[in-house]
Structure 1
């Protein structure tokens, strides 16, 4: 079992912006790691406290075949000067590859969170 990290930022606190950003990072995480819905154990999404217009987990339902993947949302702790409008993702998958072979995905302003993991 492996964890795949992802993060992105939403342009605005609007439902469409949150769902679009979440869907883009999910698709990229799945594609870069060759993950299918049946490989996914569950997905945790967190958002910064300035994103309140939509649950990013809803974006999972826009991926064909992902309707039964268990998803959950939570808010990040409000650390001063943290990255605004940030959506973080932790996808747990059944996978036996070594950790160093997992591709973690960071989009938009979130690339600054883990520049050491950007491919």
Structure 2
């Protein structure tokens, strides 16, 4: 079965270091909590709000050992009034035997406000 794993984080400042560090941490936790290995991943889509432009969040994926061939794409998040600032969202599409209810979505920093219903 193919399932989507959601994740999001924010950065306190628009710096390359924080963008890469926070995105990498989020991806690693998403994979760990859902027992995802690189060969299980169909693709990873990463969006960022317009106020993040110091670096590509997708670069962080390439820093994870074994993830060299995982398809990844960065895109701009919709610019909606009063939306969360400096936010990076991830949709990881994976092959898994987990049920949809068993998938553990991950939200860090200010992004926990996006889906409090999914936090345990």
Which TM bucket (shorter chain)?
Answer: over 0.9
CA distance in 2, matches of 1:20, 1:39: 23
CA distance in 2, matches of 1:47, 1:114: 17
CA distance in 2, matches of 1:115, 1:32: 18
> How many residues align structurally?
119
RMSD: 0.6
Q: Report what 2:22 is aligned to.
A: 21
Structure 1 residues without counterparts, runs of 5 or longer: none
CA distance in 1, matches of 2:7, 2:119: 10
Q: TM-score, normalised by structure 1?
A: 0.98
For residues 31-51 of structure 1, the C-alpha deviation after alignment (integer angstroms, 9 at most, x for no partner) is 100101000100000000000
Shift of 1:10: 1.1
Q: TM-score, normalised by structure 2?
A: 0.97
Q: Report what 2:10 is aligned to.
A: 9
Aligned structure 1 segments of 4 or more residues deviating by more than 4 angstroms: none
CA distance in 1, matches of 2:119, 2:68: 29
